[in-house]
């Protein structure tokens, strides 16, 4: 049984492109730069009622799409409707943070004060936010979000 679990873990580590190398987006889908059409080319159309959930054999991918313009929300993003804002990838098997072989010097670790045993690893320049749990630091989800540079260039301009 351990042998099969080890094979699955190795497969997942190889199947997940190195996060350190793809610090902009997931599998070519980049928040604020990719559209629903781009996601559907990669994963097919979502059959979920929100049209935002995609299930594969090894992962569950949830995508948050823009649904407002700057005119509607001056604190939002200056992107067209149906632009990817966030990608959250949850793995169906247990993977430890160490197994991802990240350069953790690029990440800031924050412990969740409301949920002991949960921590967050944030790479602002790369737009990656990882949720881990337990002393083994099991990966709960890997989230791809706008980068720190996107905050400066793609936010709606607040009018005073």
Model's pTM, two decimal places?
0.81
Instruction: Give, as one character, the DSSP assignment of residue 93.
Output: S
pLDDT averaged per 10 residues, the chain (length 160): 38 40 77 96 94 94 95 90 97 94 95 92 95 94 94 76
Angstrom distance (rounded) from CA 61 to CA 55: 6
Q: What pLDDT does 54 receive?
A: 96
Q: What pLDDT does 151 receive?
A: 85
Q: What pLDDT does 19 receive?
A: 43
Q: Do β-strands 84-91 and 108-111 pair in parallel, antiparallel, or remain unpaired?
A: unpaired
Angstrom distance (rounded) from CA 44 to CA 29: 13
- Whether the CB-CB separation of 24 and 147 falls below 8 Å is answered with yes
Q: What pLDDT does 6 receive?
A: 37
Write down the domain spans for the chain.
Answer: 2-154
Could you give the C-alpha distances from 53 to 40, 71, 89, in angstroms and in order?
11, 27, 10
**CA atoms lying within 13 Å on the CB side of residue 98:** 4
- Whether the CB-CB separation of 140 and 117 falls below 8 Å is answered with no
Angstrom distance (rounded) from CA 70 to CA 118: 34
**Angle at CA of residue 106, ends 103 and 110, nearest 5°:** 110
Q: What pLDDT does 5 receive?
A: 37
Q: Which residue do the tokens 């098997």 mark?
A: 93
Q: What pLDDT does 2 receive?
A: 42
Q: What pLDDT does 28 receive?
A: 95
CA torsion sign, 151 to 105 to 122 to 83? positive
């Amino acid at each position: 049984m351990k042998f099969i679990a080890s094979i699955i873990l190795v497969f997942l580590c190889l199947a997940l492109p190195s996060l350190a190398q793809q610090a902009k987006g997931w599998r070519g889908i980049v928040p604020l730069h990719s559209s629903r059409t781009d996601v559907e080319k990669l994963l097919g159309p979502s059959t979920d009622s929100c049209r935002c959930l995609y299930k594969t054999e090894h992962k569950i991918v949830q995508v948050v799409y823009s649904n407002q313009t700057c005119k509607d929300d001056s604190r939002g993003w200056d992107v067209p409707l149906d632009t990817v804002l966030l990608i959250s990838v949850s793995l169906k098997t247990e993977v430890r943070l160490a197994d991802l072989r990240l350069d953790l010097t690029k990440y800031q670790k924050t412990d969740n004060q409301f949920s002991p045993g949960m921590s967050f690893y944030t790479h602002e320049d790369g737009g990656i936010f990882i949720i881990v749990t337990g002393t083994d630091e099991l990966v709960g989800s890997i989230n791809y979000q706008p980068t720190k540079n996107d905050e400066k260039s793609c936010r709606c301009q607040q009018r005073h």
